[in-house]
C-alpha cells in the first residue's frame, strides 16, 4: 500500500498533507489526522520552504507547480479562484458570474478543492458571511471553518 502523503507540513493551523506526482502537487490539504513527514526531495524541500514563508507572512504568491485532478467544471472553477490575489476575497456569486454558472455548484467545486492554499478557495466567501471551507461552514463552526477564518486573518495583515 502506498503512503497517503509524500510530505506533511506542520503549519500553525494544523498539518498539511501533500501528495505529488512528477514534481507537481496533486494534493495539498489540511488533515488533522496525520503527523509530520519531512521533505525527502528537492521539490518537496522547496514546497516546505514556500509554505513556511507563507505562514510567516513573507510570501504572497506560491510558485509551486501543480496538476488539478478534477472534473472539467471543477477545473474551470478552480482556475478562476486561482486568480484571487492574496488579501482579496470574491463571493461564490462573483466566481459563478465569471464562468456563467451558479453559486452553489461553485461552492461544491471549492469544497472538493484538492490543492488548498495554492488554489485559494479560502478567499471565496458568501454574500453575507464567510461561507464554508472543505464542508465546514458557519453553522458547523468546525475545524476547517476555523482554518478558513485564520487564513483570511493571516492574509489581512
Residues 6+ apart with CB under 8 A from 24: 65, 66, 67
Residues 6+ apart with CB under 8 A from 84: 90, 120, 123, 124
Cα-Cα-Cα-Cα dihedral sign, residues 36, 7, 62, 145: negative
Active site residue ranges: 121
Amino acid at each position: 500500500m502506498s503512503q497517503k502523503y509524500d510530505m506533511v507540513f506542520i503549519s500553525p493551523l494544523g498539518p498539511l498533507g501533500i501528495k505529488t506526482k512528477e514534481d507537481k502537487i496533486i494534493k495539498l490539504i489540511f488533515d488533522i489526522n496525520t503527523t509530520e513527514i519531512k521533505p525527502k526531495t528537492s521539490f518537496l524541500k522547496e514546497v516546505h520552504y514556500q509554505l513556511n514563508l507563507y505562514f510567516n507572512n513573507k510570501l504572497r504568491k506560491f510558485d509551486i507547480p501543480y496538476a488539478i485532478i478534477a472534473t472539467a467544471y471543477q477545473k474551470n472553477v478552480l482556475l478562476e479562484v486561482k486568480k484571487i490575489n492574496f488579501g482579496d476575497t470574491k463571493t461564490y456569486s462573483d466566481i459563478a458570474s465569471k464562468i456563467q454558472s451558479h453559486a452553489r455548484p461553485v461552492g461544491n467545486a471549492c469544497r472538493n478543492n484538492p490543492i488548498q492554499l495554492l488554489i485559494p478557495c479560502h478567499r471565496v466567501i458568501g454574500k453575507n458571511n464567510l461561507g464554508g471551507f472543505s464542508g465546514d461552514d458557519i453553522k458547523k463552526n468546525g475545524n476547517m471553518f476555523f482554518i478558513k477564518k485564520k487564513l483570511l486573518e493571516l492574509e489581512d495583515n
